[in-house]
Amino acid sequence: MHKIVAQLLKGEFPEKEGLKELLSFPTHPAWEVLKQAARHVRKRYYGTDVYIRGLIEFTNICKNDCYYCGIRKSNQKAERYRLTLKQVLSCCKTGYRLGFRTFVLQGGEDGYFTDEKLCLYVAQIRKRYPDCAITLSVGERSRESYQKLFDAGANRYLLRHETANSGHYAKLHPSELALKHRMQCLSDLKQIGFQTGCGFMVGSPFQTLDNLIEDLEFLVQFQPEMVGIGPFIPHCDTPFADEPAGTLEMTVNLLSIIRLLLPKVLLPATTALGTIDPNGRELGILAGANVVMPNLSPIAVRKKYLLYNNKISTGAEAAESLADLKQRMERIGYQVVTSRGDYPKE
Ligand code: SAM
């Protein structure tokens, strides 16, 4: 165990068998050492700053049928919605006033959003908020489409790879979806010049420790600017309704490892982490995360973007939630900052 910890502290990818053993003891005292080291590395690049990203969940209509996801097309119980450009711009306006300098447009793979329509949304935000970053998270599209979105003014793209093992990928998705295509999308995004984010769910059904090690290897090889990980949480109207959720410990431990392996990465303490534990986001920050993504979507639609059961959604106005989040961060010695929070160049 000592050897593995020493390798991780140097930022080296550890010897696999040892790493597997360490991962199999999520409450081992070595994790405290790793968490502390992860905090230290995070402070080297980001001090105690926490970047905020305003999340706008602008459509829950999706053509895909991912087995884990509450907004999959087969879920007849999901109440579908799509935000108009006017509604999205109103979310941005509220967010900008509150100090958000990144807007994240996330949604299902909704055929309504042709390149033309989505580029219009991006271009209108870009025109009004030239000093803000625009992040998209709208799934798999063609390289040409990604290029058009980039040219329209989007800067960042989040596309979790979900799992780096194609056999595991096939257990989480129907056969129309393939890991190879997802990886192609990630590579296209990076080549086009997007700050690119990948990531995976922790504790997704059928996930093994070997799979997690493959995920970590992929991260090191791909060198993303952002990594989104959060626990898998079941949704009652999906094929995985009865599967157990991922754990807080495992997620937090993996955040630390990711910070040590990718020191400069932008790493959110995700909503899913805040959902499985009331202090999940704080514990994520204390494990090396440096980003939080409060919800800027209109209150009326928040409960409809239900990827998993009990997703935190206080029903509070964005201003109130942000004030709460600021306090939470201050209590643990960190502060929310108003800045774009780009990936550091040096
Ligand atoms: N459609 C886009 C895509 O595929 O990237 C973006 C939206 S998708 C709903 C965003 C992420 O939610 C997925 O990448 C997945 O990892 C996560 N997610 C979906 N269902 C989940 C669940 N039951 N528990 C935890 N995370 C989930």
pLDDT single digits (tens) 26-35: 999 999 999 9
- Euclidean distance between CA atoms 299 and 220, whole angstroms: 38
What pTM does this model have?
Answer: 0.97
Q: Which of 53, 307, 311 to mutate to test the pocket of ligand 1 (most atoms within 8 A of CB)?
A: 307
CA of 71 to the centre of ligand 1 (A): 9
Indicate if the pLDDT at residue 346 is higher than 80. no
Give the angle subtended at the CA of 42 by the CAs of 226 and 101, to the nearest 5°: 50
The residues, ordered by sequence, that sit 6+ positions from 202 with a Cβ below 8 Å of its Cβ are: 212, 229, 230, 231, 232, 246, 247, 250, 251, 254
CA of 3 to the centre of ligand 1 (A): 35
Whether 119 is in the pocket of ligand 1, judged by its Cβ within 6 Å, is: no
> pLDDT tier at 313 (50, 70, 90 boundaries)?
confident
CA of 2 to the centre of ligand 1 (A): 35
Would you state the structure tokens that stand for residue 128, as one six-digit string?
A: 């009004």
- Euclidean distance between CA atoms 53 and 203, whole angstroms: 25
Question: For residue 318, what pLDDT is reported?
Answer: 83
Indicate if the pLDDT at residue 135 is higher than 90. yes
Q: Which of 110, 141, 157, 201 to mutate to test the pocket of ligand 1 (most atoms within 8 A of CB)?
A: 201
Whether 137 is in the pocket of ligand 1, judged by its Cβ within 6 Å, is: yes
Indicate if the pLDDT at residue 111 is higher than 70. yes
> pLDDT tier at 316 (50, 70, 90 boundaries)?
confident
Would you state the structure tokens that stand for residue 279, as one six-digit string?
A: 């202090």
Give the angle subtended at the CA of 315 by the CAs of 312 and 319, to the nearest 5°: 100
Question: For residue 314, what pLDDT is reported?
Answer: 66
pLDDT single digits (tens) 53-72: 999 999 999 999 999 999 99
Whether 309 is in the pocket of ligand 1, judged by its Cβ within 6 Å, is: no
Say whether 133 sits in a helix, a strand or coil. Answer: strand
Give the strands of the sheet with 102-107, arranged side by side: 54-59, 102-107, 133-137, 156-158, 195-202, 226-231
Mean pLDDT, the chain, integer: 96
CA 122 centroid distance within chain: 20
Share of the chain above pLDDT 70, in %: 99
Whether 256 is in the pocket of ligand 1, judged by its Cβ within 6 Å, is: no
Indicate which residue's Cα is closest to atom 25 of ligand 1.
Answer: 232
Whether 272 is in the pocket of ligand 1, judged by its Cβ within 6 Å, is: yes
CA of 69 to the centre of ligand 1 (A): 6
- Euclidean distance between CA atoms 310 and 329, whole angstroms: 23
CA of 230 to the centre of ligand 1 (A): 10
- Euclidean distance between CA atoms 174 and 323, whole angstroms: 41
CA of 9 to the centre of ligand 1 (A): 31
Q: Beta-carbon neighbour count of residue 2 at 10 Å?
A: 9
Please give the number of the atom of ligand 1 that sits closest to the Cα of 307: 20
Whether 197 is in the pocket of ligand 1, judged by its Cβ within 6 Å, is: no
Whether 257 is in the pocket of ligand 1, judged by its Cβ within 6 Å, is: no
Q: What are the respective helix, strand and coil percentages of the chain, to the nearest 5?
A: 45, 15, 45
Indicate if the pLDDT at residue 235 is higher than 70. yes
pLDDT single digits (tens) 217-229: 999 999 999 999 9
Indicate if the pLDDT at residue 281 is higher than 70. yes
CB contact at 8 A, 80 and 90: no
